């Protein structure tokens, strides 16, 4: 026998790069357990946030439940995000974003004995052993590194290559990167599109 004990109201703060998926993962668990939630999507994906909230509210209302079970708070992180993480009525905060901001979220929420779910920046590696399928290594590594222009926590950042296959992997990787098409994200032949914002460009530079 399994019993779910609702926490009451929770807060969900998501990043720009997976504006629907991360909310879906959080909402599915939260709602099944009987909670209500306040969601703050990224300020650069506010239309997505509004659309998804409206769809979820319509589903609840069609089933004779209040649409406000899934509410949205719109605005910048320094304004709305700060209010959410400091609100003692929200017993759990789920935050997806940078390690720096996640550390602050953890400190503030745990100071009031709240709970957190933190999905922060990654530093992912692929380990390449001598018996690896090098064609799969190259294809998977390139896509993992450059897909979404590297703007996700699951992006590949490092290759740890066994010395027996090091030279071959590096050579094949260089050739693969030479074929990567950078351009318009609406063009199906494009693999690397633009960075998300001007601020992201400045950080990259």
Is residue 4 within 8 Å of 112, Cβ to Cβ? no
Round to the nearest angstrom and report the end-to-end CA distance of the chain: 55
Give the residue-averaged pLDDT of 178-198: 88
Give the residue-averaged pLDDT of 36-57: 93
Q: So what's the pLDDT on residue 19?
A: 83
pTM score = 0.84
Q: Where do the H-state alpha helices sit in the chain?
A: 21-32, 46-62, 82-86, 99-111, 134-146, 166-177, 198-204
Compute the CA torsion angle 108, 76, 120, 184 (nearest 10 deg). Answer: 180
Q: Token pair for residue 174? A: 């260089």
**Which residues are part of the catalytic machinery?**
119, 153
Q: So what's the pLDDT on residue 150?
A: 81
pLDDT digits (tens, 9 = 90+) for 145-181: 988 888 888 889 999 999 999 999 999 999 999 999 8
- Which of 83, 73, 77, 125 shows the shortest CA–CA distance to 98? 77
Pairing relation of β-strands 70-72 and 36-40? parallel
pLDDT for residue 20 is more than 80: yes
Decide: residue 4, CB within 10 A, 0-12 exposed, 13-18 middle, 19+ buried: exposed
Q: Token pair for residue 22? A: 């991360």
Q: Residue 65: CA atoms inside 13 Å, Cβ hemisphere, count?
A: 13
Give the residue-averaged pLDDT of 42-65: 94
75 vs 73, more confident? 73
Confidence bin at 106 (pLDDT 50/70/90): very high
């Amino acid at each position: 026998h399994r019993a779910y004990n609702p926490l009451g109201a929770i807060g969900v703060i998501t990043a720009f790069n997976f504006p629907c998926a991360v909310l879906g993962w959080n909402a599915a668990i939260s709602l099944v357990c009987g909670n209500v939630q306040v969601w703050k999507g990224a300020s650069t994906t506010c239309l997505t946030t509004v659309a998804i909230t409206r769809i979820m509210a319509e589903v609840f209302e069609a089933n004779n439940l209040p649409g406000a079970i899934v509410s949205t708070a719109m605005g910048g992180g320094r304004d709305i995000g700060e209010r959410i993480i400091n609100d003692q009525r929200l017993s759990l905060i789920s935050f997806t974003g940078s390690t720096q901001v996640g550390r602050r979220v953890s400190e503030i929420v745990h100071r009031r004995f709240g709970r957190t779910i933190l999905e922060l920046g990654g530093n992912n590696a692929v380990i390449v052993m001598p018996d690896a399928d090098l064609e799969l290594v190259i294809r998977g590594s390139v896509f993992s590194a450059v897909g979404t222009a590297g703007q996700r926590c699951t992006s590949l950042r490092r290759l740890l290559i066994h010395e027996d296959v090091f030279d071959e992997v590096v050579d094949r990787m260089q050739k693969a990167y030479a074929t990567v098409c950078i351009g318009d994200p609406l063009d199906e032949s494009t693999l690397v599109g633009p960075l998300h914002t001007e601020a992201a460009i400045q950080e990259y530079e």
